[in-house]
């Protein structure tokens, strides 16, 4: 496997487990995040890994204008969900600041390349083959509101376009894999909810959410949904985003920040559907409805 393709395979494994867990109703909700570089907010800063986003131009549009370990020009998906919750972002699991009252906010366990443990990805595949309900373990640990994201348009990211595309078409083999996986994820979650007798687990149709703006960019204010804002080579999809890379002047009109990850603007569109999308996007309910049901139980 070539180095450029390896991070994409890791993202597939991580996205299967990407989740936002909000435990049972209480005065303050704790927010826990599991996943890969799409939701990592700095764990890899503390790890010996090449999957890092702790140097410019990452963070160019973050409130501090500094690289934080988020694979974004600014805020990522968990940050924006926290905004909707009216809470500060959960700190990285490995941050030395995660102690005391900060623990009540929650914690972010995501790691780019799923690298908190060296064998995390391998272990996930092994467990998923043996137990088709690994997410049930979150329920056993007390999680009562869990969003599980489906796999997005992996074949359409700039890295894949740079490797395989002649005229901007998405990589067909990866899109076939996505279209096979996502319906099975929804079926698995439905089975979990039936077994638990409650809609604890919610699936997010990230493929459809992404395709809304990829197929109709003008509606969402994008002028470019194929070329990464930061990078080099075809589609700016070759190699890493570094200080030596091309960087677009207006990140708000680009859907992709680097070879694999959305811009903050795209992340805001994604979270908007998480919060308010109908059943074509969120099944069986969206996050706003889930939180309203939680308040009614108080």
CB atoms within 10 A of CB 122: 12
Report the C-alpha gap between 55 and 6 in whole angstroms: 21
Sign of the dihedral through C-alpha 43, 156, 129, 198: positive
CA atoms of 115 and 44, how far apart (whole Å) = 8
Q: Are strands 106-108 and 31-34 parallel, antiparallel or unpaired?
A: parallel
What does the H/E/C string look like for 124-192?
HHHHHHHCCCCCHHHHHCCEEEEEEECCCCHHHCHHHHHHHCCCCCCCHHHHHHHHHHHHHHHHHHHHH
Q: Provide the residue count of the chain.
A: 298
> Is 148 within 8 Å of 202 (Cβ atoms)?
yes
Q: Is 250 helix (H, G, I), strand (E, B) or coil?
A: coil
Contact by Cβ (8 Å): 95, 110: no
The catalytic site residues sit at 37, 258, 261
């Amino acid at each position: 496997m070539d180095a450029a393709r390896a991070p994409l395979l890791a993202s597939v494994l991580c996205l299967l487990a990407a989740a936002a867990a909000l435990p049972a109703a209480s005065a303050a909700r704790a927010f826990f995040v599991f996943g890969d570089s799409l939701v990592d907010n700095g764990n890899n800063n503390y790890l010996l890994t090449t999957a890092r986003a702790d140097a410019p131009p990452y963070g160019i549009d973050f409130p501090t204008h500094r690289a934080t370990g988020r694979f974004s020009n600014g805020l990522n998906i968990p940050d924006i969900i926290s905004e909707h919750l009216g809470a500060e972002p959960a700190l990285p699991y490995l941050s030395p600041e995660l102690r005391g009252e900060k623990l009540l906010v929650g914690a972010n366990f995501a790691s780019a390349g799923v690298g908190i443990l060296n064998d995390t990805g391998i272990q996930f595949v092994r467990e998923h083959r043996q137990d088709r309900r690994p997410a049930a373990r979150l329920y056993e640990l007390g999680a009562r509101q869990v969003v599980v994201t489906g796999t997005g348009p992996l074949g359409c990211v700039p890295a894949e376009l740079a490797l395989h595309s002649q005229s901007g078409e998405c990589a067909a083999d990866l899109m076939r894999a996505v279209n096979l996986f996502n319906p099975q994820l929804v079926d698995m979650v439905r089975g979990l909810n039936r077994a638990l007798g409650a809609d604890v687990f919610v699936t997010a149709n990230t493929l459809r959410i992404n395709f809304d703006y990829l197929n109709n960019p003008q509606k969402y204010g994008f002028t470019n949904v194929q070329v990464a804002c930061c990078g080099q080579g075809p589609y700016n999809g070759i190699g890493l985003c570094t200080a030596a890379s091309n960087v677009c002047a207006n990140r708000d009109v680009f859907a992709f920040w680097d070879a694999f990850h959305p811009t903050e603007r795209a992340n805001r569109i994604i979270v908007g559907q998480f919060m308010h999308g109908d059943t074509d996007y969120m099944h069986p309910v969206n996050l706003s409805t889930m939180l309203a049901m939680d308040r009614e139980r108080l």
